[in-house]
Amino acid sequence: MNTQGLRAGKGLARGRFASGTLALAIALAGAPLGGALAQEQASAAEAFASSRHWASQIRDYASESLNSDEALGVAAIPLNGPGIEQYVNADSLMSPGSIMKLITTYAALELLGPTHHWDTDFLTDGRMVGDTLKGDLYVRFGGDPKLTLERLWRTLRELKSMGINRVDGDLVLDGSYFRVGEGFPVFEDNGDNPHAPFLVEPSGYLANLNLLHFQVRADERGTQAWTTPELAEVTIDNRVTAMPEGPCPARSRFSWEPVYQGDHRVTVRVTGQLPQGCRATKYLSLLPHKQYSASLIRSTLSDMGIIISGGDRFGSTPENARLVMRTTSPDLVSMVRDINKWSSNVMARQMLLTIGAESRHEDEADDRVAGIRAVYDWLEKKGINTAGMVIDNGAGLTRHGRITARQGAQILRHAWDSPYASDLMTSMPIIAMDGTMARRLRNTGMDGEGRIKTGYLENVRSIAGFTRDDNNTTWAIVGMVNNDPAWNGQAVLDRVLYSLHFRPPVGMALSQSADENPASSIQ
């Protein structure tokens, strides 16, 4: 749409939303006033009616769409221009879904700092003789939320550059950076894929998000299947049939079925039909963290021609071990962007564990609990009422998490004044442009007019972030739908953003002459 079309669209939208209060403004203005004062009073009356009715109109729309008066919670606060705070069921505790990630990432920016990074060290207690490292190779993990295959490859390549072709010892993984107590609360997923990427749990041994990328491609030879990374414990039973050239089918047309063997191996049976020139892909998490990471490191070294003669062990790194190589993560700001743009559950949960590990008290044995305690302490020091709030795991992937819209908006108002406000804001999806907002509110004239984190769970839809109205005032906005079902909750929340942009609730001052009543204002 061109620029003129955008302006025209906004004008039409304002006309539609304003028509309901125009008659009221005329009636309140009254015939005797006349002239400029009548116009001023009419404008003020219209603004007053608009501000008074915005929340009630949203409430009525939500009630009709969701068949409930309590399914929607909204809080909207103007931050840098005219506007009147708006609340709909704003003090009801609701399940937030993934907008909880904004609390975790904002807390991380202030508690850990934007330049915080994670180190993964490779050490040995042996010595190098010729082309052989005689001793064990230790991998001391540092809680990195995104230790990718590419970074591992670049780091391990240094061992090859040192002239080492063999490790005459064991591969020892040290994941003691985190304390996780007895594990994590179970998320009862209602889907049919327990190996889905969004269900990956955090771990002191996390590498490459614990994922395998499966691909099948069809050409004149038939179909070929492979996985990245290629691990010894995982094989593919390719039963995909090659078809003549044609439209590429949807991902749902393929079945990926893991079959586990008793020797800790797994075979993935893939079936479907694939036209020549097309490709089918799938991400799955199939192995426990320890096994996956050990196999990943062995596989990467093997690709370089480096063989580890010993087995795999898991334990602490001895004090006399010497550093051989190190890979350092990108800074925390980069991690925050990945978490919020694409709503990475495992990275957010890893971030909460890091907050716990870096701020744990001596008597705290679980970094998830320590991280939650640290976040509550941080919020309360800001004067935010945390009564009833339940953080649980920092990602929102929980049936137990709770927050009110008012609490969420208050947190965003503090974030607006934070030294790291820009870092948090740039991490959020842009309306109609990228991330989880890429396909929402398109062709409405709102492209780029807000940065909104979204949330999605069964019976939960949510939004939180910053959006700009048509007067260039930025609002902190939090909206949550908890309803059974919540399939149309997204449309309701999009309507909230649309209405806030094109018809914001703005009050106007009413001035009076000195010989009349004292000046009053509508706010």
DSSP assignment string, 218-270? EETTEEEEEEES--TTEEEEEEEEEESS-PPPPGGG-EEEEEE-TTS-EEEEE
Quote the CA–CA distance of 59 and 68 in Å, as a whole number: 10
Residue 18 has a pLDDT of: 35
**Statement: residue 508 has pLDDT above 60:** no
**Statement: residue 263 has pLDDT above 90:** no
Say what the alpha-carbon torsion angle 54, 57, 61, 62 is, to the nearest 10 degrees: 60
Residue 262 has a pLDDT of: 87
Ramachandran bin of 83, using left for φ above 0, alpha for ψ from -120 to 50, beta for the remaining angles: left
**Statement: residue 20 has pLDDT above 80:** no
Which amino acid is residue 88, in one-letter code?
Answer: V
Residue 25 has a pLDDT of: 32
Residue 46 has a pLDDT of: 57
**Statement: residue 40 has pLDDT above 70:** no
Question: Are the beta carbons of 319 and 138 closer than 8 angstroms?
Answer: no
Residue 309 has a pLDDT of: 97
Residue 511 has a pLDDT of: 30
Report the percent of the chain where pLDDT is more than 70.
87
Residue 51 has a pLDDT of: 57
Mean pLDDT value across residues 330-334: 98
Q: For the chain, what is the largest distance between any 2 Cα atoms, rounded to a whole number of angstroms?
A: 102
**Statement: residue 332 has pLDDT above 60:** yes
Quote the CA–CA distance of 292 and 231 in Å, as a whole number: 8
Residue 476 has a pLDDT of: 98
Residue 291 has a pLDDT of: 98
**Statement: residue 26 has pLDDT above 60:** no
Name beta bridge partners: 26.
none
Quote the CA–CA distance of 141 and 88 in Å, as a whole number: 46
Residue 126 has a pLDDT of: 97
**Statement: residue 370 has pLDDT above 80:** yes
Nearest to 428 by CA among 441, 439, 437: 437
Per-residue pLDDT band at 47 (split at 50, 70, 90): low
Residue 11 has a pLDDT of: 37
**Statement: residue 28 has pLDDT above 70:** no
**Statement: residue 14 has pLDDT above 50:** no
Residue 161 has a pLDDT of: 97
Q: How far apart are the first and last CA of the chain?
A: 36
Residue 53 has a pLDDT of: 84
Output the six-digit token pair for 144: 């990195």
Give residue-wise pLDDT tens across range 170-214: 999 999 999 998 889 999 898 889 999 999 999 999 999 999 999
Quote the CA–CA distance of 401 and 68 in Å, as a whole number: 21
- The C-alpha angle 31, 34, 35, rounded to 5 degrees, equals 160
**DSSP assignment letter at 185:** P
Residue 30 has a pLDDT of: 37
Give residue-wise pLDDT tens across range 205-262: 999 999 999 999 999 999 999 999 999 999 999 999 999 999 999 999 999 999 999 8
Kindly report the average pLDDT of the chain as a whole number. 89
**Three-state DSSP class for residue 307:** strand
Residue 32 has a pLDDT of: 41
Residue 276 has a pLDDT of: 96
Per-residue pLDDT band at 517 (split at 50, 70, 90): very low
**Statement: residue 77 has pLDDT above 90:** yes
Give residue-wise pLDDT tens across range 136-157: 999 999 999 999 999 999 999 9
Query: In whole angstroms, how far apart are CA 259 and each of 115, 217, 238, 267?
Result: 43, 22, 13, 5
Mean pLDDT value across residues 473-482: 98
Residue 35 has a pLDDT of: 53
Quote the CA–CA distance of 9 and 14 in Å, as a whole number: 9
Residue 509 has a pLDDT of: 36
Mean pLDDT value across residues 101-127: 98
Question: Are the beta carbons of 492 and 65 closer than 8 angstroms?
Answer: yes
Residue 199: count other Cβ atoms within 10 Å of its Cβ. Answer: 15
| pTM across the whole model | 0.87
